Amino acid sequence: SQKIEQNSEALNIQEGKTATLTCNYTNYSPAYLQWYRQDPGRGPVFLLLIRENEKEKRKERLKVTFDTTLKQSLFHITASQPADSATYLCALDVRGSTLGRLYFGRGTQLTVWP
């Protein structure tokens, strides 16, 4: 069966450290992988997109890697801050799937403490 797993439901780290979140998938062939941030009671906010032929992408303090052989994406937040505390979702845009549909993981709740 098809599955998207994010490494843990919750991750707690100290301010200034690097947070690393994992997204693993099985039985999908994603053309793109996206990461979103969601705060309580709000909709997800798009952060980064990486294509299947890209290994790494960066945006300010964020870095995403994509390994289609391992079927895994890593999402890094460097120099983390309490304001980074939120739930982070990975989403797959699947090759061959009709446009407009994303498959989401359950999310990892990140807490950055001072």
Partner 1 sequence: KAGVTQTPRYLIKTRGQQVTLSCSPISGHRSVSWYQQTPGQGLQFLFEYFSETQRNKGNFPGRFSGRQFSNSRSEMNVSTLELGDSALYLCASSLMGDRGYTFGSGTRLTVV
Query: In whole angstroms, how far apart are CA 87 and each of 4, 21, 32, 37?
Result: 16, 11, 20, 6
The C-alpha atoms of residue 111 and residue 71 are separated, in whole angstroms, by 26
For the segment 6-65, give every residue that binds partner 1 (CB under 8 A).
32, 34, 36, 41-46, 49
Q: Establish if 93 lies at the interface with partner 1 (CB under 8 A).
A: yes
Q: Establish if 102 lies at the interface with partner 1 (CB under 8 A).
A: yes
Q: Shortest gap between Cβ of 89 and partner 1 (angstroms)?
A: 7
Q: Partners of 34 in the beta sheet?
A: 49, 91
**Residues at the interface with partner 1 (CB under 8 A):** 32, 34, 36, 41-46, 49, 89, 91, 93, 97-107
